Structure 1
Amino acid sequence: MANNPTVAADTKNKGSKSKIIIISLAVVILLLGGFVGYSLLSDSSEIPFISKLTEEPEPVEVQVPLEEFLINVSDENGDDTAIVKLEVSVSSYEEGAEELINQEIAKVRDAVIHVVSNESIDTLLKRENGSFIIKNDLKNRINKSFGEDIIDEVYITNILTQN
C-alpha cells in the first residue's frame, strides 16, 4: 500500500483543529474562572452588573394625607379666639408605614392637634429657610406617639387662620 498524501494531510489538519479548539476552550474556562474568583473575592459593588443584581431596591416614599384640622389657638393677645384650618400630609420610607399610619390615625391626629393648639398664630406661621418651623415639631411629636421614627417628612398642604 502506498502512502496517500491526502489522508495524511486530512489527519494532520484534524489534529491541528482539535488542538485549536481545546486551547480556545481552555482560555475561555480560565477567563471565566478568573472572573468568578475575582467577583467572589472582591466587593461585588465594584462590578456594575453584579451589584445591580444584588442591590436592594430603592425605598419608596409613601405619602398619607390627613383629614382637615380645625384647631383653636391663641391670638396675639393670648386669647383662645383664633382658629386654624390645617391640612397636612405625612410621608415615610418605612415598609408598611401607610398601613401603620392608617391604623393609628388617632395617634397622628392627636399629635398634630397637641402641637398646633399649644402655639399662637405668630409662632404657628413662623418660617425658617422658607419652611414652617412647626413641621419639625409635628414630625417629632408624631414619631414620639409611635415610639419610633416612622415619619420622615410633614407637608403642610393648606393653612388658614381666622381671628
Structure 2
Amino acid sequence: MAKEEKTAEETPAKGGKKKLIIIVAIALVALLGGGFAGYKMFSPKKVEAEPEPTPGVVAVLDAITINLADGHYLKLKMTLQATTDAAEAPDGSEALDIAIDEYSGRKMDELMSNAERDRTKKELIAKVVKAYTKDGKKEIMDIYFTTFVIQ
C-alpha cells in the first residue's frame, strides 16, 4: 500500500493544466470583449456632415472705396454667390457694410500679402454667410472679389 500512496502523491491532480488553460482562455475572452465594448462606448460618434449648399444666382455688387490706415484706399468690388435656398437675388448692402467694417483702418502692408488677404477674406465670408443665414438656411455660400486695388 505504501507504493500506491507514493504514486498518488507524486502525480499531480488530473485536469490541473486543463483548468488553467480554460481560466486563461476565459480571462482573454473577457478582456477582449470588455475592450471592444469600451471602445464602442467611448469612441467618438460619427457626426453627419452638413450637406454642401447648392449654388444659386450670383449677385454682382457695386464697387466701393474703403479708407485704409495712413491715407491709403482700397477699391473693392465683389459678387455674392447665393444658394438655391435664397428666395431671390440677395441685397448686397449688408455684405458691403460688413466689408467696410472688416477692411476700414487696416494697414496697406497687411493687405498686400496674399496670406493676409486670404485670411481676411475667409473672415469676411464667415461674417457674411452668418448675416445671410435665415432659419438655419444659408442664403450666401461664397464671395468673389472682382476688384481689389490698393492705393
**TM-score normalised by the chain length of structure 1:** 0.50
Q: Which one of 108, 116, 119 corresponds to residue 103 of structure 2?
A: 116
Count of matched residue positions in the alignment of Structure 1 and Structure 2: 96
Residue number in structure 2 paired with 1:89: 79
Q: How far off its partner does 1:88 sit?
A: 0.7
Higher relative contact order, chain-length normalized (CA < 8 Å, sep 6+) = 2
Gaps of 5+ in 2: 1-52
Residue number in structure 2 paired with 1:156: 145
**Contact preservation (8 Å) 1:69, 1:85:** yes
> Equivalences for 1:31-70 in 2 at 5 Å?
59-70=54-65
C-alpha distance 84-92 of structure 1, shift in aligned 2 (>3 A): same
**Contact preservation (8 Å) 2:133, 2:140:** no
Q: How far off its partner does 1:139 sit?
A: 0.8
SS in 2 for 1:133: helix
> Once the two structures are superposed, what CA deviation does each residue of 1:48-76 show, in whole Å capped at 9, x if it has no partner?
xxxxxxxxxx93432111100101011xx
* Percent of aligned pairs with the same amino acid: 22
1:144 aligned partner, one-letter code? K
C-alpha distance 59-144 of structure 1, shift in aligned 2 (>3 A): closer
Deviates more, 1:152-161 or 1:132-141: 132-141
Gaps of 5+ in 1: 1-57
CA RMSD of aligned residues (A): 2.6
Q: How far off its partner does 1:87 sit?
A: 0.9
SS in 1 for 2:79: strand
Q: How far off its partner does 1:159 sit?
A: 1.3
C-alpha distance 89-83 of structure 1, shift in aligned 2 (>3 A): same
C-alpha distance 121-85 of structure 1, shift in aligned 2 (>3 A): same
Q: How far off its partner does 1:117 sit?
A: 0.8
